[in-house]
Amino acid sequence: MNTPPHPISPNATIALAIHGGAGNITPSNLPPNQEQAYRDALTQVLETGHALLCQGGHSLDVVEAAVRLLEDSPLFNAGKGACFTYEGRNELDASIMDGHTLQAGAVAGVTTIRNPISAARAVMERSPYVLLIGTGAESFAADQGLEIVEPEYFYTRRQYERWEKSHQAREESASLNGEKFGTVGAVALDSYGDLAAATSTGGMMNKRYGRVGDSPIIGAGTYANNATCAVSATGHGEHFLCNVVAYDIAALMEYKGLSVQDAAEEVVMHKLAQRRGEGGVIAIGKNGQVAMPFSSVGMYRGSITADGQMSVHMFK
């Protein structure tokens, strides 16, 4: 966020898309006041990110800022509001990628970093590494001066009650109403033609044994390359990992000439769906087209396209 504003070219194409997780999100599962709360939160994040892009902000700053807001909101399963593990903890994962440099950073299994996405960015920019895990990642974040919190900071009554309910039922992976694959993410194209992608999550409720999903994995949950697209995924992480989802969309564009819409649809609605991999992605192509396919019942999502049109949706 320390990028000085630049004058934007009047012809420059900018675009932004965000998600707040996919799952069994229906009008009957979401009371009207809650629906409005989600709509307001997504709208605020889009407006903030878009204003930055309009001021000549860099896509990397924009996706980090958008994901920080989503992490700070207790409505989403990332940062504050993360789901609970089998042991009743909050273990967070995040990753970020710069489509201009093809550099990336990620953290996994962290419990004390207030904004895991900023730790991921610090890994990318201030270490020779890409992926740091556990207490090592926390030490790095502390050394870098990032905000460290007590693990209790991530507690929300909503997630704790969901955990208690499912934990008592001894489910290893939850399938309650509402968001099932809670993850947040952002993708942006800035006025310099640079793409970036960022993803952050509390992971799968009741996860055990240090389970890590696709969110902190470059190529699976997050990918950005100015030559093709920027992608952030949300879904059943194990399937997204084995199907290398985010990079596969880029590969279909690069090697088969597909549009971002066709590539994202092919991966999410056909390849993944055939393998029972439920979830969705948000993607922006190098020319600014936005695609947001999902195979789950609903996905919290929103975008501001190149023509300035904003849309916020959660149901099919």
Give the burial string for 109-122 (b: 16+ CB within 10 Å, else e).
bbbbbbbbbbbbbb
Query: Could you say whether residue 129 binds a copy of itself (CB under 8 A)?
Result: yes
- Are the C-beta atoms of 229 and 249 separated by less than 8 Å? yes
Quote the tokens at residue 69: 């807001």
Q: What is the identity of the amino acid at 292?
A: M
Query: Could you say whether residue 262 binds a copy of itself (CB under 8 A)?
Result: no
Smallest gap from Cβ 242 to a copy of itself, in A, equals 5
Query: Could you say whether residue 173 binds a copy of itself (CB under 8 A)?
Result: yes
Q: How far apart are CA 172 and CA 73, in angstroms?
A: 26
Smallest gap from Cβ 66 to a copy of itself, in A, equals 22
Residue 2 gets which letter from DSSP? -
Which has the closest alpha carbon to 113: 77, 168, 68?
68
Query: Could you say whether residue 53 binds a copy of itself (CB under 8 A)?
Result: no
Choose, by CB under 8 A, the member of 120, 131, 291, 292 that binds a copy of itself.
131
Contact characters 216-255, a copy of itself, x per CB under 8 A = -xxxx--x-------------xx--xxxx--xx--xx--x
Quote the tokens at residue 71: 């992490």
CB closer to a copy of itself out of 268 and 314: 268
Stretch that binds a copy of itself, among 19-27, 43-51, 128-136, 184-192 (CB under 8 A): 128-136
- Are the C-beta atoms of 81 and 75 separated by less than 8 Å? yes
Smallest gap from Cβ 187 to a copy of itself, in A, equals 17
Is-catalytic flag, 111? no
Question: Which residue is catalytic, options 85, 111, 183, 201?
Answer: 183
Quote the tokens at residue 91: 């273990």
For strand 298-304 and strand 103-110, is the pairing parallel, antiparallel, or unpaired? unpaired
Smallest gap from Cβ 267 to a copy of itself, in A, equals 11
Query: Could you say whether residue 169 binds a copy of itself (CB under 8 A)?
Result: no
Spell out the long-range contacts of 307-314 with Cβ–Cβ below 8 A and sequence spacing 24 or more: 310/43, 310/46, 310/47, 310/50, 312/39, 312/42, 312/43, 312/46, 314/25, 314/30, 314/35, 314/38, 314/39
Q: How far apart are CA 191 and CA 292, in angstroms?
A: 21
Query: Could you say whether residue 213 binds a copy of itself (CB under 8 A)?
Result: yes
Query: Could you say whether residue 174 binds a copy of itself (CB under 8 A)?
Result: no
Query: Could you say whether residue 127 binds a copy of itself (CB under 8 A)?
Result: yes
Query: Could you say whether residue 145 binds a copy of itself (CB under 8 A)?
Result: no
How many C-beta atoms lie closer than 10 Å to residue 289's C-beta? 18
Smallest gap from Cβ 272 to a copy of itself, in A, equals 11
Stretch that binds a copy of itself, among 122-130, 151-159, 189-197, 293-301 (CB under 8 A): 122-130
Length of the chain: 316
Contact characters 71-110, a copy of itself, x per CB under 8 A = --------------------------x----xxx---xx-
Smallest gap from Cβ 298 to a copy of itself, in A, equals 23
Please tell me whether residue 196 adopts helix, strand or coil conformation.
strand
**Residues lying near a copy of itself in the complex (CB under 8 A):** 97, 102-104, 108-109, 127-137, 139-140, 172-173, 207-213, 217-220, 223, 237-238, 241-244, 247-248, 251-252, 255-256, 275
User: Which residues are marked as active site?
Assistant: 183
